[in-house]
Amino acid sequence: MRLLLLIVFVLWLSPSLQEKDFSRLRDKMVKEQIVRRGISDPSTLSSLRKVQRHLFVPDDLIDYSYDDRPLPIGFGQTISQPYIVAYMTEIIKPRPDYIVLEIGTGSGYQAAVLSGIVKEVYSIEIIDSLGNQAKNRLDKLNYKNVHVRSGDGYHGWKEKAPFDAIVVTAAAEHIPPPLISQLKENGRMIIPVGSPFMTQQLMLVEKRKGRIRTSSMMPVQFVPFKRPQ
Ligand code: SAH
């Protein structure tokens, strides 16, 4: 009887122990993968410490959720490496009053990281099932200021434009002109540009006095930006 009670007690305790473990893994991830590589924006770091990345990966990969790498999320797509998510978040200089557009919702993780920092996040996903999954996940986790839509992100989200910042998480052959026009004056867009399945350049696009300035930030490897057939 006592043994049975003990087992019930341990089972009852285990979920909270697990969450504590994940929280410890997150702190370690931020310290070793993010801060050590030079990310210092306090709002970006605090959001990465909070968002439960293990709830954004498939169940069988949960043990790897805080590893220093991207992970498959089905349909040939990936959740980006934590450092890349941190980099793309910091580089847009997110602020509490910002309206941000994301192209490529995927798991919803990047959107969740932005959600805690900015006012509204609009995110577009071209694969319906992935978009629906991410929408359900974000609703369940109570990310109320993230709005997910299915469709081709090439055209942006005209009804909600202009945006203070745009984050594109799939590699495009060129910067889609509609995204440039939906960027606010003084806005920033971060986008991987280059051929699919090769190394691409992460480009920072800034709009100042109506002019566009682009800078190559670093070589990266993203899944391709798809276009409808
Ligand atoms: N931000 C995601 C990373 C997803 S990988 C995360 O945090 O998990 C890139 C995603 O972009 C994939 O889900 C892919 O289906 C999507 N994608 C590719 N081309 C797209 C397009 N034209 N419009 C919208 N989404 C696109």
Contact by Cβ (8 Å): 173, 144: no
- pLDDT of 1 above 90: no
Cβ neighbours of residue 3 under 8 Å, at least 6 residues apart? none
Contact by Cβ (8 Å): 126, 151: yes
Structure confidence at residue 179 (pLDDT): 98
**110's tokens:** 């990047």
Structure confidence at residue 182 (pLDDT): 98
Q: What percent of the chain has pLDDT over 90?
A: 89
Q: Which of 77, 101, 109, 173 to mutate to test the pocket of ligand 1 (most atoms within 8 A of CB)?
A: 77
CA 145 to CA 104: how far, in whole Å? 17
Structure confidence at residue 5 (pLDDT): 80
Q: How large is the average pLDDT for residues 100-119?
A: 98
Q: Residues 136-184: pLDDT tens digits?
A: 999 999 999 999 999 999 999 999 999 999 999 999 999 999 999 999 9
pLDDT-derived band at 11 (thresholds 50, 70, 90) equals low
Tell me what the pLDDT averaged over the chain comes to: 95
Q: Residues 194-223: pLDDT tens digits?
A: 998 789 999 999 999 989 999 999 999 999
Gap from CA of 138 to ligand 1 centroid (Å)? 16
- pLDDT of 17 above 70: no
Query: Which residue among the candidates 80, 107, 115, 123 is catalytic per the annotation?
Result: 80
Write the burial class of residue 171 (CB in 10 Å: 0-12 exposed, 13-18 middle, 19+ buried).
Answer: buried
Give the residue from 43, 125, 139, 23 showing the smallest Cα distance to 86: 43
Q: Which residues line ligand 1 (CB under 6 A)?
A: 77-80, 103-104, 106-107, 109-110, 124-127, 130, 152-154, 169-170, 223, 225-226
Structure confidence at residue 7 (pLDDT): 74
Gap from CA of 11 to ligand 1 centroid (Å)? 38
pLDDT-derived band at 122 (thresholds 50, 70, 90) equals very high
Active site residue 16: no
How far is CA 134 from its chain centroid? Answer: 11
Predicted TM-score of the model (pTM): 0.94
Structure confidence at residue 14 (pLDDT): 59
Q: How large is the average pLDDT for residues 15-41?
A: 91
Structure confidence at residue 6 (pLDDT): 78
Closest ligand 1 atom number to CA of residue 107: 8
